[in-house]
Structure 1
Amino acid sequence: MSHVIIVWFRRDLRLEDNPALSAAIDSGASVLPVYIHAPEEEAPWAQGAASHWWLHHSLTALDQCLRERGSYLHICHGATLENLRELIVSTGAQAVYWNRRYEPACIARDKCIKQALRDDGIEATSFNGALLIEPWQIETGQGDPYRVFTPFWRKLRANLQIEAPQPAPQRIETKKAEASVALNSLNLRPKIPWDSEFGAHWLPGEFGAHESVQQFCEAALRDYKVERDRPDHFGTSRISPYLHFGEIGPRQIAWMLDQYARNESSAVLHEAAEPYLRELGWREFSNHLLYHFPHTPEKPLQAQFDAFPWAPDDAVALARWQRGQTGIPIIDAGMRELWRTGWMHNRVRMLVASFLTKNLRQHWRHGARWFWDTLVDADLANNTQGWQWTAGSGADASPYFRIFNPVTQGYRFDPDGAYVKRWVPELADAPLKLVHEPWLDPALLQRTGYPSPMVDLAATRTAALDAYQRMRNV
């Protein structure tokens, strides 16, 4: 009888280029693919509602892919170690394989599980299925973690080998176990259907991930460097949720970009791919920071920001920001896009974050928590790095004096007003000269019901700069 290996799926919901799965199959073992739902083990950053929607559909897609290969996804609910031990007993498994995660709570949990299984006499082995390089494998010349992106990326890029991914298995010899719970019993889909439009924008699963990359290569790669900041255009890959759930990995994306450029015999496309690879580098950098500075989801990386004079918590102002009722068109467009699709263009993410932390001077943690619950790509490393960057408190951060003006940003990156008009229908018929400044015509506001600006942009910019100066003087 062949030996049995449990492959514990987590944020690696794919069959192609899955190191843990490939290692188990290559060993000649019978494999039991397992997903264990234990959100309490990831506290205080258990997945939010939008991520749960994606997870439900991604697990459905993974199970279908496994069944096409003679296998299935065994689902458990509850304490991970307890479930693994029960499965080991029922299947006679000799080993558990998984791909690593890098959130602080998961690192601590996984270390305990690995040690407990080894104490039980079970082989417990983890792999890198999520990153181009492990966070502990890259350091400065002084042996310290990087805190600035450019030298980090320069070193990573110089050592990056773009190689063909491991193919998905054609057949998976499977050891079945008893009492897999039904996916619906996990209650991942919301009871109130606020997610009703998500399905029109996304196709969770490995197939959807590959389709998104292919579509990006064909339609947007060539002009990515100049188009990526335009929320009114299809200029980005929208691959972030697929990366978050591991339906595709960064090594696969790098290979697909390289092969597409080679097939097109285009030096232009090879050059165009570099800015996109650099964005993958930001994802690596964010995970590097989270690993080495695990306090950053709650506390500023730069200790001086402990003294920053945030405004008192304002529930009313926060609610207006969350619902896209600030009276600043591009801010409201972004927040409404987020609510209806579970996603927001990166340029607009910076604008709404700047508005919250600088014009409203609300703590960046309020924004991070809202994004965490409403983004389908809510990734702890990226979310933390993005909010701390905008607030000025993180590594390689935006300078404290950089306060985005959403009006000038709107005219620059949404020059025809198409993005605003799509998500803020009150302004669909507004003349272009007013679409980013509708308050210049009070009659327009009265006629459409669109709100007046909740703050004076110039005055709040001055107040934010004064607050930063007070902090620097402490």
Structure 2
Amino acid sequence: MAKPAILWFRQDLRLADNPALAALEGRPLLPVYFLEEGPEAPGGAARWWLHHSLAALGRALAARGAPLLLLRGDARQVLPALAAEIGAEEVHAGRRTEPLARRRDAETHAALQDAGVRLVLHRTALLHEPHLVRTGGGKPYSVYTPFARAVFGLLEELPPPLPAPDRLVPASGARQGLGLDSLHLLPRPPEPNWAADFPAHWTPGEEGAAARLDAFLEQGLAGYADRRNDPAAERGTSGLSPHLHLGEVSPRQVWHAAKAKGGRGLETFLKELLWREFSHHLLWHRPEMPEAPLRPEFAAFPWRPDAALLRAWQRGRTGYPIVDAGMRQLWRIGWMHNRVRMIAASFLVKHLLQPWQDGEAWFRDTLVDADIAANSASWQWVAGCGADAAPYFRIFNPVLQGEKFDAAGAYVRRWCPELARLPDRWIHRPHEAPEMVLRGAGVTLGRNYPAPVMGLSEGRAAALAAFAAVKGTEAA
């Protein structure tokens, strides 16, 4: 009989289209998940999702005969010991791109090698290996459009997804694992239950991911090119990002399913999948991206850290309705519409001149889809300091952005209900509304809705001056 092996789950919490699992077909295996703490550990909202995703994965594995072993600790120490316990000579896992995970993988490989065990890494989370996509000159890409064009070509012969196994052969001799609750992934008293509204919006796990994908293909893909910028639209976006982040569905499954469905929104949607690939490509080649600007001149940017301004932004109390609606949506359901993410992020780093790292850290803690690569790449894009970044002088006006993308105010009325009775004309600019209109709508600025924390002209002028100083330093 074949030697048993360890299947190390990480950001691939699924059974279908899992190359690491498929490589062990017919062999006795021990499925295991380690909760590792550290700088790149999941934030609060992602931990809520992880709890329920692990529960779903555990049920699926148990139903096929190989229960999931849950442990807390350092894989560099625990994996060699586990391999010895069950007589395994191989550990199979998905490859990760985060800098700390890559360092740990190298050290884990060395520790396993010393124990006579082989670590085999598979591509489980991306469409293509980030280190293999190169320009004609052999360099990594730093601009999205040529990257996407190159990857589109590489994916012409993307193999079909792999099926989930019907049965698994369990390895014997492993230690007793931890109960899921003992990982303490959920909010616990006296901490408030900030995740109370999450279950009404999300169904973590492989089945939930499949249902979300099916619903989007049927109801959202055809109109995706137009509706993806409407934050109030039902099925305007796919909602797949948290499922993709923890690998409950593979990007290959999504790619093939979308192409099979087809329709007018297909190309736009596939390009969004490739932005995710581009973010991981950048992170692989620029591991400093989560902390440091990719454009070195921005290390001297004259930020104006202000705890009160940061707090007002975090809590959706800036006085600009489209920003506040987005930040409140984020707090309530652990997710924010992508268009509003850009508006809210631009307001923080440009009008308020708060460091982009503070915004990135808040999103990392409050987003259920908090992917280090996509989060840091997107924040650097908005701040103007990243690869293929938005021009430094592109400063979103939150009032005009609200009027453009939420013209009837449906999104703002949902997440800022104190403004619900304002007429459409004033829903995005309550600070400019006549007093009689405010009174008629039950709005008292500074009491039940905040006055603006910063004037838009003032904030824009300060941002342009700060960026000009950086550009002057670059020229010098």
> Residue 429 of structure 2: which of 417, 437, 440 is its match?
437
- How far the C-alpha of 1:86 sits from its partner, in A, is 2.2
Matching of residue 35 in structure 1 with residue 33 in structure 2: yes
1:81 and 2:76 are equivalent in the alignment: yes
Per-residue CA distance 1:413-445 (angstroms, 9 max, x = gap) = 101100000000101111111100011236324
Cα distance between partner residues in 2 of 1:437 and 1:258:
42
Amino acid at match of 2:122: F
SS of the aligned residue for 1:39 comes to coil
Give deviations 1:172-220, integer Å, cap 9, x for gaps: 1111422111111110001121110001110000011111111111111
SS at match of 1:24: coil
Contact 1:231-1:347 at 8 Å conserved across structures: yes
How far is 1:88 from its partner? 1.3
Q: 1:227 — aligned with what? A: 227
Give the Cα–Cα distance (whole angstroms) in 2 for the partners of residues 379 and 330 of structure 1.
24
Which string of whole-angstrom CA distances, capped at 9 and with x for unpartnered residues, describes residues 5-51 of structure 1? 100000100000001111012xx3101100011113xxx22211001
Task: State the match for 1:69 in structure 2.
Answer: 64
Equivalent position amino acid for 2:381 in 1: W
- 1:363-419 Cα distance to aligned partner (Å, 9 max, x none): 000000000100000000000001000000000100000000111111111011000
- Structure 1: segments with no counterpart, 5+ residues: 262-268
Give the TM-score, by structure 2 length: 0.95
What pairs up with 1:443-462 in 2 under 5 angstroms?
443=435, 444=438, 445-446=443-444, 449-462=448-461
2:203 maps to amino acid? L
1:259 Cα offset (Å): 2.3
Question: In the aligned structure 1, how far is the partner of 2:420 from the partner of 2:265?
Answer: 34
The correspondence for 1:167, drawn from 149, 163, 186, is 163
Distance 2:178 2:330 in 1: 32
SS at match of 2:131: helix
Which 4+ stretches in 1 moved above 4 angstroms? Answer: none
Match of 1:108 among 94, 97, 103: 103
Q: Aligned partner of 1:237: which letter?
A: S
**By how many angstroms is 1:81 displaced?**
2.1
Indicate if the aligned counterparts of 1:320 and 1:326 stay in contact, CA closer than 8 A: yes
CA–CA separation in structure 2 for the residues paired with 1:174 and 1:369: 40
1:146 and 2:144 correspond: no
**Distance between the aligned counterparts of 1:203 and 1:74, measured in 2?**
22
TM-score (norm. length: structure 1): 0.95
Report the Cα offset of residue 84 of structure 1: 1.1
Q: Name the % identity.
A: 49
Q: Which amino acid aligns with 1:175?
A: A
Q: Deviations over 1:134-192 (max 9, x none)?
A: 11111111111110000000011012124320000000111142211111111000112
SS in 1 for 2:23: helix
1:394 & 1:420 partners in 2: Cα distance?
A: 30
Equivalents in 1 of 2:65, 2:15: separation in Å?
13
Give 1:43-58 correspondences, 5 Å limit. 44-58=39-53
Alpha-carbon distance in structure 2 between the residues aligned to 1:352 and 1:91: 51
For residues 353 and 220 of structure 2, what CA distance do their matches in structure 1 show? 36
Task: Indicate the residue corresponding to 2:214 in structure 1.
Answer: 214
Query: Distance in 2 between the 1:450 and 1:222 partners?
Result: 38
Q: Which runs of 5+ in 2 are unaligned?
A: none
Aligned to 1:473: 472
Partner of 2:319: 327
The answer to whether the Cα contact below 8 Å between 2:230 and 2:406 also exists between their aligned partners in 1 is yes
Give, as a single letter, the amino acid of the residue that structure 2 aligns with 1:461.
R
Contact 1:410 1:436 in 2 (8 A): yes
Which one-letter code corresponds to 1:434 in the other structure?
W
Q: Is the 8 A contact 1:103 1:291 kept in 2?
A: yes
Aligned AA (2:336): M
What does residue range 2-401 of structure 1 map to in structure 2 within 5 Å? 2-25=2-25, 28-40=26-38, 44-160=39-155, 161-176=157-172, 177-191=174-188, 192=191, 193-234=193-234, 235-261=236-262, 269=263, 271-311=264-304, 313-401=305-393
Between the two proteins, the alignment pairs up a number of residues equal to 460
Q: Distance in 1 between matches of 2:457 and 2:217?
A: 41
- How far apart in 2 are the matches of 1:377 and 1:449? 31
What are the superposed Cα offsets for residues 431-472 of structure 1, whole Å, 9 maximum, x if unpaired?
A: 111100011236324277211111101121111111111111
Structure 1, 201-210 or 113-122: larger mean CA deviation: 113-122
Q: Distance in 2 between matches of 1:373 and 1:136?
A: 28
Counterpart-to-counterpart distance in 2, 1:321 and 1:72: 44
Amino acid of the structure 1 residue aligned with 2:20:
A
SS in 2 for 1:135: coil
CA contact (8 A) 2:77 2:111 kept: no
